[in-house]
Homo-oligomer: A and B are copies of this chain.
């Protein structure tokens, strides 16, 4: 690894989406009237929120009038912006505008989709987005991996068909499923097995992406929403791990995107203790392992990945417990909560003391493996725009020494390291 010259950065969390009305040509014509109704309703809702002081218009105006913002849907601008950000490859999720939501696929079928949508419209909106996204990917297939929207809760057969179509049209970024199933079956139910089969055999990673939450509980309180929302996104992970989905589908790749990674060590520690019937779990030991012959952490390591987007220093510190081979960075382009257009500065601040081989994995190699990027074919781009370890302020030798103890301690419940000392500075 000492030979690494430029990091091949793959953003495991980018967004691409047309202004909603522009999805019309991609939408089956029998839904055009519904689109008009949807747009009119949304317009009224936005006006209402503005009147109630719930919109941050100045912020929105300032962000969305940047030249690069159109890279959310315009291929040429997109290339330029990602080049400037040093990003060689990307996985694309919908909803390029995360402030007003006016670039969402029709009918709420984007990252906010849940089991609460009308099935027919959810499929139609998703289909429109997938068609457009396949076009966007086809212009630069080496660098762009698009993830297809597939609302699996409503109809498994239709979902399988959609997955096959997505793959056939070049969407190798996998699929996005609703993070919340609402009144439908949870994701460890056997009804979804054909979906997981299709995704495993076509090598289409399955994603949940943060956004959905039971908003009706919040009574318009946004603090509660931002505090809970990532939990709702990664909730399906627990169901699938305990429910035996990865036992039944050993080749399935499951990715939790834009939901951080800081929570993973505690989740894994607890699951491992529970599975081994340590502590309170002993009294129900007979029931715990029913669906899985192995510790859930083994499935996590083999099948699960965290698209932790704009990772924080906390997450850098916990990388050995999370799993360096399961962790993927993303710039969240073009969302304001992402690092674009200041990725260079962010990488220095966050990765300056991380060993080079680990940085390479987190910034790109893990994603290359999960999404089948051809890093060799991308070498010219990498050499042109990829930052060097020196650009990140890294001192290869010092960085290895600094973390030797943390690396050896790893997951304390496996290594016997004292978790009290690990938890404190």
Could you tell me the distance between the alpha carbons of A219 and B244 in the complex, rounded to whole angstroms?
A: 12
B336 and A283 contact, CB distance less than 8 A: yes
A209 at interface, CB cutoff 8 A: no
A224 to B242, CA, bound (A): 6
B422→A59 contact, CB < 8 A: no
Q: A188-B219, A336-B280, A420-B316 are in contact. Are A285 and B56 (CB under 8 A)?
A: yes
User: Please, how many angstroms separate the alpha-carbon atoms of A257 and B425 in the complex?
Assistant: 27
Known contacts A188-B219, A280-B337, A337-B279; is-contact A313 B227 (Cβ 8 Å): no
Indicate with 1 or 0, residue by residue over A241-264, a CB within 8 angstroms of chain B CB atoms: 111000000000000000000110
Contact with B along A99-140 (1 / 0, CB 8 A): 100000000000000000000000000000000000000000
Task: Give per-residue flags for A281-314: 1 if the beta carbon is below 8 A from chain B beta carbons, else 0.
Answer: 1111111111110001000000000000010111
**A421 CB contacts on chain B under 8 angstroms:** 317, 425
Pick the residue among B221, B235, B274 that contacts A223 (CB under 8 A). B274
A60 to B285, CA, bound (A): 12
- CB-based contact B288/A223 at 8 Å: yes
The answer to whether B227 and A238 have CB atoms under 8 Å apart is: yes
Question: Are B424 and A218 in touch, CB under 8 angstroms?
Answer: no
- Asked if residues B406 and A314 are in contact (CB atoms below 8 Å), the reply is no
Copies in the complex: 2
Residues of B within 8 A of A189 (CB): 219
Choose the segment among A73-81, A150-158, A169-177, A265-273 that binds chain B (4+ C-beta atoms closer than 8 Å): A265-273
Which of B263, B289, B424 touches A403 (beta carbons < 8 Å)? Answer: B424
- A7 CB within 8 Å of chain B: no
A356 to chain B, nearest CB (A): 16
Chain B neighbourhood of A271, CB < 8 A:
223, 227
Residue of B nearest to A410 (CB): B425
CA separation between A228 and B231, bound complex, in Å? Answer: 10
Give A275 Cβ to nearest chain B Cβ, in Å: 7
Is A30 at the interface (CB under 8 A from chain B)?
no
Q: A243–B223 Cα gap in the complex (Å)? A: 8
A44 touches B (CB below 8 Å): no
Tell yes or no: A222 within 8 A of B by CB.
yes
Residues from chain B with Cβ under 8 Å of A423 in the complex: 313-318
Within 8 A of B (CB), among A35-88: 53-56, 59-60, 63
- A414 interface residue (CB < 8 Å to B): no
A222 surroundings in chain B (CB, below 8 A): 284, 287-288, 290
- In the assembled complex, the Cα of A241 lies from the Cα of B226 at a distance in Å of 13
Closest to A266 in B: B262
Contact residues of A: prevailing secondary structure: helix
Chain A, 354-404, CB within 8 A of any chain B CB: 403
Query: Is A194 an interface residue, CB under 8 A from the partner?
Result: no
Closest residue to A214 on the B side, CB-wise?
Answer: B186
Chain A interface, number of residues (Cβ within 8 angstroms): 81
Q: Which residue of B lies closest to A56 (CB)?
A: B286
Q: How far is the CA of A314 from the CA of B318 in the complex (A)?
A: 14
Complex Cα distance, B231 from A242, in Å, reads 17
Interface: A196 (CB within 8 A):
no
Cβ of A226 and Cβ of B424 under 8 Å apart? Answer: no
Knowing A189-B219, A223-B296 are in contact, say whether A317-B419 is a contact too (CB < 8 A).
yes
Cα–Cα, bound, A231→B267 (Å): 11
- Tell me if B420 and A314 are in contact (CB < 8 A): yes
Closest to A420 in B: B317
Residue of B nearest to A237 (CB): B227
Contact B219 A283 (CB under 8 A): no
Tell whether, in the assembled complex, residue B337 and residue A282 are in contact, meaning their CB atoms are under 8 Å apart: yes
Are the CB atoms of A242 and B221 closer together than 8 Å?
yes
CB-nearest residue of chain B to A351: B420
Complex contacts, A335 vs chain B, CB 8 Å? 280
Asked if A3 is at the interface of the complex by the 8 Å CB criterion, the answer is no
Other A-B contacts than A282-B337, A316-B420, 6 sampled, CB-CB below 8 A, are A223-B243, A312-B419, A313-B420, A314-B422, A314-B423, A317-B421
